[in-house]
Amino acid sequence: MEIDKLKLRIKDSVELQRQQLTQLSLNIHDNPELGFEEEKASAWLTSYLKDSGFNVDRGIAGLATAFRATYGQGRPRVALLAEYDALPEMGHGCGHNIIATSAVGAGVASKPIIDQLGGSVVVLGTPGEESLGGKIDMVKAGAFKEIDVAMIVHPNILNMVAIQTLACSSLEVEFFGRPAHAAAQPHKGINALEAMILSFTSINSLRQHIKAEARIHGIITDGGEAPNIVPTHSAALFLIRAPDNEYLAELKDKVINCFTGASIASGARLEYRWRDRTYAPMKNNTTLAQLFSQNLESLGRHVEALDLRFGFGSTDMGNVSQVVPSIHPTISIASPGVSIHTQEFASAAASEAGHEGLMDAAKAMAMTVADILRPGMLDKIKQEFHSR
């Protein structure tokens, strides 16, 4: 069967799933689960894939809510990644219900391609994207060893085939002071909150002299107990982001200097821990991105020119992209005024525009699977991956 006919069949297959995919998306949206607790979502997604003829392994890579669903045996093996974790307080403000359902829809629509051209398609359930970095664990556990290409589509306000994301490390900081009556004997106290405020001020000064793409942002999680007690303990969580790992390392040292300086100035003892999951920047495979772009445009969507702009934060897909040729396109489901990680975006993720986004993402991904399995294409994709 020629490729165009195959692509028509793919689109029909996604359309045939419309009702089920939309319902699955709404079910996940209406039952938001935080990272590594996505029991309902992973159960629903895997049962849909199992019913559609996939071989399903749940709880892979030491993560209870991760899964691998495979159709076909051989290589090339193309992975379609599903995320399904929600955000605290705002449910699916990142629209991961659309990521999950477009991946399973594309997986099922890829079956005729595999039957026709050989190879296999794997829907990988990757939990805990928001700050927990589930894919980082999965990369370490070897979940991508037998994978040739990986794709994931994230809802957004524009259709973009390649986004640049930032390397990101998380930092936990604490200061320990000494209590005293804040009015009667303030000279006997050591103020852990002041140490934290000083640190924020130093970081604000540092921010004037860092690269434009880098980001440093934090929240205070403990600032003392009562205004009449000199705070003996303060704590904060910070995220440090940079366009590459080298600059991230440089910035991490500078940030720690801000905390150390505040510790010396205030007398409060500093303790800090870097969380061990560092998000890597996205290495976009442009060969793959162009295939996806053509397919998405053929569905009548305007796709932004391939232009690596910052502005998407960080994703653990970055870590996948460092080991396997990958793309992380975005699909528009909301007007440009809306920001992800908001209640408005959560509403968009359950709207008609959200459903259309999931349908088009599924179609474009499965059509791209067909392109990847064309003779010579994987070599081209891998050549680019190894040349950069």
Interface with Zn ion (CB under 5 A): 94
Give the whole-angstrom CA distance, residue 112 versus residue 371: 13
Shortest approach of Zn ion to residue 329 CB, angstroms? 13
Shortest gap between Cβ of 94 and Zn ion (angstroms)? 3
Closer of 71 and 238 to Zn ion (Cβ): 238
The answer to whether residues 124 and 106 touch, using CB atoms and an 8 Å cutoff, is no
Shortest distance in whole angstroms from residue 173 CB to Zn ion: 23
Determine the residue with CB nearest Zn ion. 94
Query: Would you call 214 helix, strand, or coil by DSSP?
Result: coil
Pairing of strands 77-82, 149-151: parallel
What order of strands is seen across the sheet that includes strand 120-125? 55-58, 67-72, 120-125, 77-82, 149-151, 326-327
The distance of closest approach from Cβ of residue 127 to Zn ion in the complex, given in angstroms and rounded to an integer, is 12
Helices within the chain (DSSP H only): 3-16, 18-30, 39-51, 96-109, 111-117, 134-140, 192-207, 245-266, 286-298, 317-323, 343-348, 352-372, 377-387
Q: Cis peptide leading into 76, omega within 30 of 0?
A: yes
Which CB sits closer to Zn ion, 94 or 190? 94
Beta-ladder partners of 72: 120
Residue with tokens 């390392």: 249
CA pair distance 109, 309, nearest whole angstrom: 31
- Closer residue to Zn ion, CB minimum distance, 124 or 258: 124
CB of 129 to Zn ion, least distance (A): 6
Q: Compare residues 85 and 174 and give the one whose CB is closer to Zn ion.
A: 85
Q: Which is nearer to Zn ion, 99 or 149 (CB)?
A: 99
Choose between 130 and 194: whose C-beta lies nearer to Zn ion. 130
Least Å distance, CB 83 to Zn ion, is 6
Q: Which is nearer to Zn ion, 10 or 86 (CB)?
A: 86
Measured CA to CA, the distance from residue 264 to residue 266 in angstroms comes to 6
Q: Which is nearer to Zn ion, 100 or 255 (CB)?
A: 100
Q: Which of 80, 66, 6 is nearest to 327 (CA)?
A: 80
What is the spatial distance between Cα 25 and Cα 62, in angstroms, rounded to a whole number? 26
Cβ count near 5 (within 10 Å): 10
Alpha-helix residue ranges (DSSP H) falling in 59-212: 96-109, 111-117, 134-140, 192-207
| 87 vs 255 by CB, closer to Zn ion | 87
Q: Which residues pair with 58 in a beta bridge?
A: 67
Q: Which is nearer to Zn ion, 93 or 177 (CB)?
A: 93
378: closest CA among 365, 369, 388? 369
Q: Calculate the dihedral angle through the C-alpha atoms of 92, 94, 98, 101, rounding to the nearest 10 degrees.
A: -70
Give min distance, CB of 357 to Zn ion, in A. 13
**Least separation in angstroms between CB 79 and Zn ion:** 18
Q: How far apart are CA 334 and CA 244, in angstroms?
A: 30
Minimum CB distance to Zn ion, residue 170 (Å): 14
